[in-house]
Amino acid sequence: MVSKLGATIGAAGIAGLAVLLWFATRPPGLIVQGEVSTDRVDVSPRVSGRIAVLNADVGSVVKKGAVIAELESPQLASAMLAAQAALAVAKADLDRVNSTRPEVIEVHRAEVSAADADVALYLSDKDRQSKLAESNVASQARLEQSSRNLEAALRAREAAQANLDLAVAGASKEERALALAKVEQAQATLNQQQTDIRELVISAPIEGQVTTRIAERGENFSAGAPLYSILDIDHPWFTFNVREDLLKGLTVGDSLSVMVPALKNAMVAARVTVINAQGQYATWRATRATGEFDLRTFEVRAQPVEPLAGLRPGMSAILSWPRPER
């Protein structure tokens, strides 16, 4: 009985020693260092101008939509005045095309009346010449001349009436369409100029902290040139660069425990949101000609589960990572 107990104790001791030996010889986990990052927005104007007002400086916390800078541009102001004048001209031309002065209509009415009088006169003359020709008092040539005069008077009367109808009707459908198109074109040009003028006021696109200010009062900036950089400090994340052979089993949504040395080694619970391959330049090269192969580097991004006071972009982040199995 004693011998069996001793054998059991001895076996347990050997097993415990084996476990201790396994833990003692087991390679420690890898330490992966990353950093805290966040969204950054470079604010730039859409139009060129000279800095007139700056309402934010490095370190300022700005709200979304807050005016952080104002530019001025005499060229844009002049262009808008020219666009307003062009629109006024186009509208005046449209009014002219769509209407006829009463005086012009009255002139054409008078011409029609005069043409009617000529027709009546030459008609009477033809009748008289016809009767005289029947009595052999007037020559046939005189009768023919009277007929030609009457025909000319009728054609003149038709022309006068056509001019009156045209004056009453106004411009043609095509002329009105062209005048209306010119008004719309001038209005579109004015709208563009007004939009450019509004773009001289620069607003913060996000809520965050200004980390860089390039703009100085009085300086000229072209469209697209950055004025400020703003960080979204309220929504940071952790980013790590990890070799692909260390990613076994890791998926989006997995939980990680990240240590932040700057916050007294605080442990932060985070959830994996992105696993993204880096460029070809981020490759671990094989050190031997055979037996190994190049390994790509992946970015692993994790979002803190709960907001952590004091967590700021640029802080180091430490992650304990299991070694790959050989």
pLDDT of residue 141: 72
Structural domain count of the chain: 3
124 and 66 in a common domain: no
Q: Is 110 helix (H, G, I), strand (E, B) or coil?
A: helix
> Model confidence over 175-222: pLDDT tens digits?
888 999 999 999 999 999 999 999 999 999 999 999 999 999 999 999
| Structural domain boundaries, residue 64 | 41-71+199-231
Number of residues assigned to the chain: 326
| 144 occurs within a structural domain | yes
Q: What is the CATH number of the domain that holds 57?
A: 2.40.50.100
299 and 252 in a common domain: yes
Indicate the pTM of the whole model: 0.62
Cα–Cα–Cα angle for 109, 111, 116, rounded to 5 degrees? 95
Average pLDDT over residues 106-127: 78
214 and 133 in a common domain: no
297 and 270 in a common domain: yes
Q: Please check the confidence at residue 11 and state whether its pLDDT lies above 60.
A: no
Quickly state the pLDDT bin for 2 (edges 50, 70, 90).
very low
Q: Contact, 301 vs 273, CB < 8 A?
A: yes
Q: Between β-strands 266-277 and 49-54, what pairing exists: parallel, antiparallel or unpaired?
A: unpaired
